[in-house]
Amino acid sequence: MSELFADNGRYVAPGVEIWGGDTLYNHFRAEMGGGADGLPPDRLNVRLFLSPVITLSEDGTTAQGRWHEVAMLGHYGEGAFWKGGIYENDYILEDGVWKISELHYYPQYAGPYDKGWRNIADTVPLTPYHYTPEEAGSPTPQSAKALALPAGDADDRLSEAAATADALLDESAIQNLQAAYGYYVDRKMWENVTDLFAEKATFDVAGEGAYSGKAAIRQRFFALGDAGLKEGELNDHLQLDPIVTLNGDNKASARGFELQMTGQHGGASAWAFGIFENTYVKEGGVWKIQSVKLYPRFAADYEIGWARDLLPAHEEASESASASLLASAEYPEQASPAISFSAHVERATKPEAPARLDALERKVAIAKAYDGAENVSNAYGYYIDEFRWDDTADLFSEDGWKELSYIGAYYGRERVRGSLFSRYGDRGRSPTFLAIHQKTQPFVTVAQDGKNAQIRLRLFQFNSQLDGDGSYISGIYENQVKLEDGVWKIAGMDLDYVFLASYTGGWAAVEEGSAQRFAPTPESIAKYPPDGPLRGVTFAPYPEIAPMGFHFDNPVSGRTPDFKLDWSISSRHDESGGSPSAKASQDSASK
């Protein structure tokens, strides 16, 4: 951890300000590690980093980043805890390697599992933003060079720069692949899940078993139940914090987290957490999953939590399984699997034939689009957390549209702005209530010209109060973004809620139709009526299972979803694909 910091890097948190490698190491070891290196088997220290907004400096040698953190902490037999807040960090390129120059933590909520989280203070202050709406839409400043080309022969410089751009696109494609896996498992879309694997792929779950070949993997998932969610069933499998390493020769690996939220309405529900160590292979220009190594860490009944009386952490093996080759990593008896990636990952690049400058520029534009789409979508969440409606509206393109929950769609930036002020007023957020819109698991589809994109994100919202029960909101965003005057803007925003639940009861105790209590009155809607209807359901449907749209086909097989969300200039205004230019760009979108 301390080696991730620059030579004079700083760590800042309430009551703490330290810097320098040895000082950082000693602090982390004492305060987090209890005076030891390594995590004892009976301790849980899950740190989820979500919703990044990253902006690069003009000269490309420094950057700033904003993140949500959700911490799930525990000491078996003694307690389980929540903690959460925001990081506003500074980064620096030091001797060719990106490092942390300042890690600054702003806590927001905390609490024991049995009672749930509460605000950490009577008034939780605003965490300062390092960006404006324009800067959020400019991950790389317009005045900065697209790539720092190495010295040497012009053809060699271009081919090496093109290899770096290819690496960026490969990393994004692999992140998409892993995100798609999670979204398909959520809905028990077993054929789509199987499609993501190479023919000779393996799937090994510690404690459960190993499955060799695509047919065996398919059988494993169908053994979990028929395809498709049944009424009252929740099967969310969040794919979080993937660290991708390109290994050359069209191969790659990634380590990340899988957080499960499962259960049956009116019955039992559970948390589960695991670590995946996957490999990927590029065949015929398409990335596929080559192997999965899944290490379940724990499964816990929602009513009890992860401090005691844990559930079995893995499924029963199906008939197609052989013995697992993986060591158990189950809390509280076994340690977490060792980290296999380098702290400072260097992309494996291999210059090939001389590249054309126009082809390189197009690849760089597409690579930038992945970051632009995620940046503006996440910046939206941080702004609405604080009821900053002008900043929120300024993230939208001039003709951008937005669905306003329970009401309808508004067309055009100024109509979006007016709808927010009309619905929520101009008094700012309540000082004692936090709505924390954490968005994660992005799947980004970019047009071939790099000028527009679509992005799917998971809403993993925590709400916190000074006194009183916390709550969750779960849903799926399907956004459209485009370049407007060189800045990425939101061109369309669709949100389908899945459930709204109190902390005390969780998702299994949701009262049918309870989400309707948040609906505005017909009189208040009439004061600022929408320009069109919502595309999906009006209220969070759970325990009902509503259709869930996807903007993308299966990234490996091309299998089309039952409900395909095409590019549009509003949620229903033009389902044929929007303007002719947008339609043409989207028709050529890369998978």
Which pLDDT does position 571 carry in this prediction?
A: 45
d(CA 474, CA 501): 9
Which pLDDT does position 345 carry in this prediction?
A: 58
Which pLDDT does position 518 carry in this prediction?
A: 85
Which tokens belong to 417?
Answer: 């702005």
Which tokens belong to 177?
Answer: 């692949």
Q: What is the pTM of this model?
A: 0.94
Which residues are CB-contacts of 254 (< 8 A; sequence separation ≥ 6)?
Answer: 174, 175, 178, 242, 243, 244, 245, 276, 277, 278, 280
Which pLDDT does position 156 carry in this prediction?
A: 76
Do 404 and 520 meet the contact criterion of CB atoms below 8 Å apart?
no
Which tokens belong to 386?
Answer: 């604080």
d(CA 58, CA 132): 15
d(CA 117, CA 69): 14
Q: What is the largest CA-CA distance in the chain?
A: 70
User: Beta strands 396-404 and 487-502: pairing type?
Assistant: parallel
Which pLDDT does position 576 carry in this prediction?
A: 39
Which pLDDT does position 570 carry in this prediction?
A: 57
* Residue 43 identity: R
Q: Is residue 311 part of a domain?
A: no
Last residue of a domain, one of 88, 116, 145: 145
Q: Is residue 276 part of a domain?
A: no
Going by C-alpha positions, the residue among 284, 290, 292, 281 that lies closest to residue 248 is: 281
Which pLDDT does position 149 carry in this prediction?
A: 54
Q: Is residue 550 part of a domain?
A: yes
Which pLDDT does position 155 carry in this prediction?
A: 76
Last residue of a domain, one of 93, 118, 145: 145
* Domain assignment of residue 442, given as a range: 357-587
Q: Is residue 393 part of a domain?
A: yes
Q: Is residue 538 part of a domain?
A: yes
User: Beta strands 209-212 and 197-205: pairing type?
Assistant: antiparallel
Domain count, the chain: 2
Taking only the tens place, the pLDDT of each residue in 279-325 is 999 999 999 999 999 999 999 999 999 999 999 999 999 888 999 99
Q: Is residue 243 part of a domain?
A: no
Q: What is the pLDDT along the chain (591 residues), one digit of tens a residue?
A: 999 999 999 999 999 999 998 999 999 999 888 899 999 999 999 999 999 999 999 988 999 999 999 999 999 999 999 999 999 999 999 998 999 999 999 999 999 999 999 999 999 999 999 999 999 999 887 654 544 555 667 777 788 888 889 999 999 999 999 999 999 999 999 999 999 999 999 999 999 999 999 999 999 999 999 999 999 999 999 999 999 999 989 999 999 999 999 999 999 999 999 999 999 999 999 999 999 999 999 999 999 999 999 999 999 998 889 999 999 999 999 999 999 887 665 665 565 556 688 888 899 999 999 999 999 999 999 999 999 999 999 999 999 999 999 999 999 999 999 999 999 999 999 999 999 999 999 999 999 999 999 999 999 999 999 999 999 999 999 999 999 999 999 999 999 999 999 999 999 999 988 888 889 999 999 999 999 999 888 999 999 999 999 999 999 999 999 999 988 865 444 443 433 233 333 333 332
Which pLDDT does position 238 carry in this prediction?
A: 98
Starting at the earlier edge strand, list the strands of the sheet with 251-264: 209-212, 197-205, 286-301, 269-283, 251-264, 233-248
Beta bridge partners of 453: 446, 481
Last residue of a domain, one of 145, 161, 192: 145
Which pLDDT does position 348 carry in this prediction?
A: 54
Q: Is residue 58 part of a domain?
A: yes
- The rounded Cα 538 to chain-centroid distance in angstroms is 24
Going by C-alpha positions, the residue among 390, 5, 366 that lies closest to residue 166 is: 366
User: At 37, which CATH number?
Assistant: 3.10.450.50
Taking only the tens place, the pLDDT of each residue in 39-90 is 999 999 999 999 999 999 998 899 999 999 999 999 999 999 999 999 999 9
Q: Is residue 244 part of a domain?
A: no
d(CA 505, CA 503): 6
Which pLDDT does position 285 carry in this prediction?
A: 95
